[in-house]
Structure 1
Amino acid sequence: MKTELFNGLVGDNPYFQAGFGLMGVGVGLTVLRQGLILGSTTLRRRLLVTLEVNNKDRAYEWFLTWLAHNANTAPQKRATSRWFRSHQLSVETAVEQRSNGSSSAIFRLVAGPGTHWLRYQGAWMQMKRERETRSMQLMSGNPWETITLTTLSRDRDLFPRLLAEARDLAMKSQQGKLVIRTAWGIEWRPFGQPRQKRPLHSVVLDTGVSEKIEQDVRAFLQRRQWYADRATLSVDLGIPYRRGYLLHGPPGSGKTSYIQALAGALSYDICLLNLSERGLADDKLIHLLSNAPERSFILIEDVDAAFNKRVQTSEDGYQSSVTFSGFLNALDGVASGEERIVFMTTNHIEKLDPALIRPGRVDLNVLVDDASPTQARTLFTRFYGGSDDIHPDVVHRLADQLEDIVAAEMGNGRRISMAALQGLFIRSGAVEAVESCRNLFVGKQV
């Protein structure tokens, strides 16, 4: 009866047959669909909360490191409050190049682009890692990436805890270690794995040299307010809060080793700047020097080779876009940054343009020379002193002999580097080192 009535109303209705009925059904379904979408969106906004982290923020690397740590930890050792598993992985390779020419590579598997699920302190979270391949960062050339975390609104307080835990994990991995950074485009990025800090006393310089540099750096760091006060008193009294150091001397005298040890002693990092890098221009150089990470030294090695005759050329003949005037402007020009410590090294100070090493660009100029008699003695006693294989009295007697040999050879115009002495001590016994050290002296014989 009801079916016949419906067929009568619909089938015999001329308006419905003309299409108005079907249009009404379509409109009704569209309204219902939009209502469901609006309802689900409203429900999602009320019940879910989303956190977005992009790869321009430091927390991005911290979070990926935290994920990799928990994903690579054995299940029986992993904390029960954390759970993560992914079938979409990406590899990150860190290469460490050592000064002796060798290198090592470390691979780390991290969550790749896609959707992942993790459980943190009893709450489930959805993680989406998205990579924008159609547009790149203008200066670095890297793709834009974003990580989006979504969880229930009631668990929004877990986000700060998770990020704090990721930060602490990253800081713990670098605690007691020295981080070396290099320039990637206009960004400073870690180069290789953090290195163990070298004790400052392990680098043996001549009497008073190490203390002179360290005291000057510490005094500069403690006078931040002094610089700020003179910047606010008057424009004429404004003194930029930056410091420049030049360590010059022959190869193997310990210039770079001392800078690394000093950075470790002050809990500073090192930003290694290569002026011969392809693609480096004046504007990028100014940006890098003005945006160095906090608590870091900027190290420019062999600056004499970089601007010999005011032209900067790499070993393969490539001429950099960095100009000498642009380099000077980056050091202390109008566009140069504040709160910066720059260390430069050179083997040939006589090749440097006077405009580069004038006061204001180089505030402290220190000679780090070949081994003096006192240095040779100190290095010898540190290598062989305290060993069970040789009596302390023998060590002191041999150290006296070595000191006399170095003094005599220096009187004849012959020199020996600290690097040569260290290499000799590494491969030789104490007696043999003293007997054979004369063969390592270089220079004219009077």
Structure 2
Amino acid sequence: MSESILSSLFSSNPYFSAGIGVLGFGAGLAALRQGLVRGSYLVRRKLLVSLEIPSKDKSYQWFLYWMSKRINNNSRNNTHQYAVQTSFIQHDNGSISTTFSLIPGPGKHYFKWRGVWLQVERQRDAKLLDITSGSPWETVTLTTLSKDKYIFTELLQESRKLALEQQEGKTVIYTSWGPEWRQFGLPRKRRFLNSVILDKGIKERILQDVKEFINNDKWYNERGIPYRRGYLLYGPPGSGKSSFIQALAGELEYNICIMNLSERGLTDDRLTHLLSNAPERSIMLLEDIDAAFIQKRQPTDQQG
């Protein structure tokens, strides 16, 4: 009897029936929303693939340079948020001109490359800073369909090729900055070996020895011998040491990494890290080598 009374009470009361209807409608919307969220997650997981490029990775600058060329050479693009990248060009007469390139700013961008649609999301975290440069931590995330994931490798290869083309015929100088190497100044025109005047036969003997060393890496690896070779250049300032190194790098099409052993704060651990992570195809120039023999360098963390 009580059940019939309650039933008649609810059915005859429009407020109760309306409340139950609203409750049922809200629950249905919540279930639909949750289903859409789960469905979207499954679609992204099954059909989409992403590639994250952190700002500490070498390919990060390559990709931004590639994007800047794409934006500046293509009047039709879907990018509406830009950032500026300033670069300098050194001409044959020694003059320097400034160029401004537009690159994708923080946010999402869409473009089509080789018939494949890509989403590019550039994110900047102001709370995380690079301890060496003080700049915010950044990442670029590329997203496309799973069946087109091969496009990532091809895109990065093209980005690397385009970025290195601007250094073709030039020598890049790197200097140590904290635990990493940074480009120092503009790439310089390669210097010819015959522009350096040394005693007869010195340049030729060193060049021949270096080429033999470069071509015999397999011999060192098979015998477990460390693959490295050093030359001690000595003499008063102005005797041609630095000029010869630049000319040798130009002849071999190598770059130059400069490290000062008398630098304050240089530890054995940091020295080993820099030597192990030097840019490829580089000549390592250790200045003030005598500082290594007078106990100027700080001990490692283990040594106290």
Shared fold, TM over 0.5: yes
Aligned to 1:164: 157
In the other structure, the counterpart of 1:88 is: 82
Say whether residues 1:250 and 2:236 are aligned partners: yes
Look up the match of 1:329.
Answer: none
* Secondary structure, counterpart of 2:233 in structure 1: strand
Provide the rounded CA distance (Å) in 1 between the counterparts of 2:101 and 2:135: 19
Counterpart amino acid of 1:206?
D
- Separation in 2 of the partners of 1:9 and 1:113? 60
Note the C-alpha offset of 1:60: 1.4
User: Which digits, 9 at most, give the CA deviation of each residue in 1:180-234, with x for residues without a partner?
Assistant: 1122321122223322211222222110111222122223223323323332xxx
Q: 1:271 offset after TM fit, Å?
A: 0.7
* Stretch of structure 1 that moved more, 206-215 or 268-277: 268-277
Counterpart residue identity of residue 252, structure 1: G
Letter of the aligned partner of 2:182 in structure 1?
R
Per the alignment, residue 39 of structure 1 pairs with 39
CA distance in 2, matches of 1:270, 1:143: 28
Contact 1:115/1:129 (CA < 8 Å) preserved in 2?
yes
Task: Give the match for residue 73 of structure 1.
Answer: 73
Instruction: State yes or no: 1:49 paired with 2:49.
Output: yes
Q: How does 1:384-399 map to 2 (within 5 A)?
A: none
| Pairing partner for 1:120 from 113, 119, 122 | 113
Q: Cα distance, 1:143 vs. partner?
A: 3.7
The alpha-carbon deviation at position 154 of structure 1 amounts to 4.9
Residue 170 (structure 2) aligns with: 177
Give the percent of matched residue pairs that are identical in Structure 1 and Structure 2. Answer: 52
How far apart are the structure 1 equivalents of 2:114 and 2:69? Answer: 16
Question: What residue is the counterpart of 1:212 in the other structure?
Answer: 205
**For the Cα contact (< 8 Å) 1:136–1:143, is it kept in 2?**
yes
Partner of 1:430 in structure 2? none
Where do 4+ consecutive residues of structure 1 move more than 6 Å? 17-21, 102-106
Unpaired segments ≥5 residues, structure 2: 1-7
1:275 and 1:301 map into 2 onto residues whose CA distance is: 6
Structure 1 residue 148 corresponds to structure 2 residue 141 = yes
Query: 1:272-318: CA deviations, max 9, x gaps?
Result: 113455654442222111221222111123445x569544xxxxxxx
Query: Is 1:196 aligned with 2:196?
Result: no
SS at match of 2:253: coil
Q: TM-score, normalised by structure 2?
A: 0.79
RMSD: 3.5
Unaligned runs of 5+ in 1: 1-7, 76-81, 97-101, 232-238, 312-321, 327-446
Structure 1 residue 39: Cα displacement? 1.6
Question: Cα–Cα, structure 1 residues 265 and 58, in superposed 2: closer, same or farther, change >3 Å?
Answer: same
Whole-Å Cα distance in 1 between the matches of residues 266 and 11 of structure 2?
A: 79
Aligned length: 290
Residue 250 of structure 1: SS of its match in structure 2? coil
Q: Distance in 2 between matches of 1:301 and 1:248?
A: 11
- Residue 293 (structure 1) aligned with residue 292 (structure 2): no
Instruction: Confirm or deny: 8 A CA contact 2:120 2:140 kept in the other structure.
Output: yes
User: Equivalents in 2 of 1:19, 1:109: separation in Å?
Assistant: 57
Distance 1:140 1:285 in 2: 19
On the 8 A contact 1:272/1:300 being kept in 2, the answer is yes
Which residue matches 2:222? 229
- Check the 8 A contact 1:140/1:185 in 2, yes or no: no
Secondary structure, counterpart of 1:117 in structure 2: strand
Does structure 2 retain, via aligned residues, the 8 Å contact 1:271–1:298?
A: yes
Contact 1:140/1:186 (<8 A) preserved = no
Q: TM-score, normalised by structure 1?
A: 0.56
Closer, same or farther: CA 226–37 of 1 in aligned 2, 3 Å: same
Contact 1:182/1:271 (CA < 8 Å) preserved in 2?
Answer: yes
SS at 1:261's partner residue? Answer: helix
